[in-house]
Amino acid sequence: MWSWTILTLSLAGMALPVASQSALPAQREAGVSAYPFGMSSVSLTESRWMANQNRTVNYLKWVDVERLLYNFRANHRLSTKGATANGGWDAPNFPFRTHAQGHFLTAWAQCYSTLGDVECRNRATYFVAELAKCQANNAAAGFGAGYLSGFPESEFTALEARRLSNGNVPYYAIHKTMAGLLDVWRHVGDNKARDVLLALAGWVDSRTSRLSYDQMQAMLGTEFGGMNDVLTEIYLETGDKRWLTAAQRFDHAAVFNPLASGRDQLNGLHANTQVPKWIGAAREFFATGTTRYRDIAKNAWNITVGAHTYAIGGNSQAEHFRPPNAIAQYLNKDTAEGCNTYNMLKLTRELWRMDPGSTAYFDYYEQALLNHLLGQQNQADSHGHITYFTPLNPGGRRGVGPAWGGGTWSTDYNSFWCCQGTGIETNTKLMDSIYFHDDSTLFVNLFTPSVLKWSQRNITVQQTTAFPIDGKILLTIQGGRSGGDEWTLRIRIPSWTPKAEVSVNGEKVQSISTTPGSYASVKRVWQSGDKVEIRLQMKLRIVPANDKPSVAAVAYGPVILSGNYGSTSLSSMPTLALGSLRRKSTGSLAFTATADGKSVELGPFYDAQGFNYNVYWATSGQLPADV
């Protein structure tokens, strides 16, 4: 494969100075048959997605880096340079302070990679250089070599001894820092990020290698983020088995064992503690070829998506998994923690790469990105602040109430919740899963206005669409070899569409199968200027609650609709007369219906901000056949 040639060069040179280059893994992955494009190959064009990206990029370029360095410097006994300390989860007395900074590193790196934004790059490399100074002062601060954090190393002594008095989750924070450094290394090509990362990984290895298996497993009872994931990534990047061994120490048997045999024992577990471990399992399968890891990751996904997921693609209530299929019973203000969906999307993308013939993965990806994460960000705020939970109670509202128990928006300096961190990542990688490829195939998995530069084939693919307002998607192919180039275009035909059509240069292609829930495949010698049009029919459909099918959300195509209740509070779930649903205009997703005998306006849940909404309804009757 072409990439292995480039790989040799990039490893030999080690320096990866420009945005168009991403570090390519040293270790070939097992069991994958489709590959993402580098982030610098795909850019968003004008759309709802791009508006989200813009708001987050504003915040990333505005936030005071010195304030974000405060806890690291204070902990490593360096001057805080007169900076103000942050509040919220980055306050100087917050147990796992400095968990957020790794998310900023990742988001700055992504911002640079996709937009070529030099300010984002400079922030990332400055931050890394300052972290290197913190790490270099470890002897004076009394820490072991390589340690890097905003809280003292003694937190790990307490963790290993299971003295859990202060609710600290120190490896959770370390994981974020490592993931951020890895992304600055990979996406920016900053070798200092690699050096700081490998020194910190070395500290993790020496800290954990002296524990017995039983001590390690006991310690894994405390949330540790994706330590198995990031260490496996480092192994895949460097080829050094030391990191794989360290990663596998973080395989949490109590969670992995039931999942390996497909048993759903998630009830009562803290949800976002588990999902990163499953991403790690997927990555450990790529690194080792051990199918047990694959089974753990696939079964975890299947169980979570099938039995623990709300219509908007989110899971968890009060941060926890509830009994299998318990959906209607848990429509509360604190449903659908943002981080869980961010992590489920990461998992979904890796599982699809093992099984690129299955549309179920990107059907879910689309569902969760559109209906949960897109609307999790405040459109009225130029810094794109987010909610922690997405309330699904009748008359719920984003941006109201305390963070836990409701959905208040995050703030510039006084929140720094986990979901704020994953939110800035999400909104700087909205382009990373639209297209994938193998040697002779281009996959289109998501319908998002964007441009792909497939440099390997010297072509540009422009995707133009008003999706999801309508189901018409145009792909224009430009460039390539003179005389054309043969490859296969594979387009996800979602399972929600009743009917799909594909035409090439204005002619409907009869021989292409467009069965919903499959990939439509167009193999031909492509010429510059070729146009592919995809038409996905959209219809109203209901998404019943697993535990009570008479309770349901309503969707139009992929879009979950919600009722607009203004400032009216609802004391119980309204009953929607399904037969009364009407679309108001073909140019928007505005609908009307009758609920509890009164008229209600419905629109996309991703736009339901600034008013009380309703997502799940008691239902009566049948949907109209023709809407």
Ligand X SMILES: *[C@@H]1O[C@H](CO)[C@@H](O)[C@H](O)[C@H]1NC(C)=O
Residues lying near ligand X in the complex (CB under 6 A): 46, 50-51, 54, 302, 305-306, 360, 458, 478-479, 481
Q: Smallest distance, Å, CB 555 to ligand X?
A: 16
Work out how close the CB of 458 gets to ligand X at its nearest, in angstroms, rounded to a whole number.
4
DSSP secondary structure of 448-506: -SEEEEEGGGTEEEEEEE-TTSS-EEEEEEEE--TT-EEEEEEEEE-TT-S-EEEEETT
Task: Report the C-alpha gap between 286 and 437 in whole angstroms.
Answer: 17
Nearer to ligand X, 149 or 427 (CB): 427
The smaller minimum CB distance to ligand X, of residues 8 and 458, is found at 458
Q: Which is nearer to ligand X, 292 or 582 (CB)?
A: 292
Closest listed residue to residue 181, CA positions, set 170, 195, 197, 205 = 197
Q: Which residue is nearest to ligand X (CB)?
A: 479
With respect to ligand X, which residue has the nearer C-beta, 117 or 533? Answer: 117
Helix H or strand E segment including 617: strand 617-620
- Least Cβ distance, residue 422 to ligand X (angstroms): 22
Shortest Cβ distance from residue 47 to ligand X (Å)?
Answer: 6
- Find out whether 331 and 394 touch, Cβ atoms under 8 Å: yes
At closest approach, how far in Å is the CB of 427 from ligand X? Answer: 12
Pairing relationship of beta strands 598-604 and 548-556 according to DSSP bridges: unpaired
Closer to ligand X by Cβ: residue 204 or 344: 344
SS3 sequence of 219-230: HCCCCCCCHHHH
Burial of residue 250, with CB atoms counted within 10 A of its CB: 0-12 exposed, 13-18 middle, 19 or more buried: buried
Q: How far is the CB of 84 from ligand X (least distance, A)?
A: 29
Cα 197 to chain centroid distance, Å, stands at 22
Q: Which is nearer to ligand X, 361 or 613 (CB)?
A: 361
For residue 480, what are the contacts with CB-CB under 8 A and spacing of at least 6? 457, 458, 459, 526, 527, 528
Q: Establish how many alpha carbons lie within 13 A of residue 44's alpha carbon, considering only the half-sphere containing its beta carbon.
A: 23
Residue (217 or 546) nearer to ligand X, CB: 546
Q: Are strands 617-620 and 575-583 parallel, antiparallel or unpaired?
A: parallel
Instruction: For the CB of residue 372, give the shortest distance to ligand X in the complex, in Å.
Output: 16
The answer to whether 173 and 165 are in contact (CB under 8 A) is no
Number of H helices, E strands in the chain: 19, 20
Q: How far is the CB of 360 from ligand X (least distance, A)?
A: 5
Nearer to ligand X, 360 or 623 (CB): 360
- Residues in a beta bridge with 583: 591
Non-local (6+) Cβ contacts of 560 within 8 A are 311, 312, 370, 371, 543, 553, 554, 604, 605, 615
- Identity of the residue, 252 or 308, whose beta carbon is nearer to ligand X in the bound complex: 308
In 3D, which of 537, 535, 539 has the Cα closest to residue 581?
539
The alpha-helical segments, DSSP class H, found in 401-452 are: 418-426
Closer to ligand X by Cβ: residue 54 or 521 = 54
CB of 97 to ligand X, least distance (A): 32
| Least CB distance to ligand X at residue 478 (A) | 6
In the complex, what is the shortest distance from the CB of residue 318 to ligand X, in angstroms, rounded to a whole number?
23
Task: Kindly tell me which of 459 and 602 has the beta carbon lying closer to ligand X.
Answer: 459
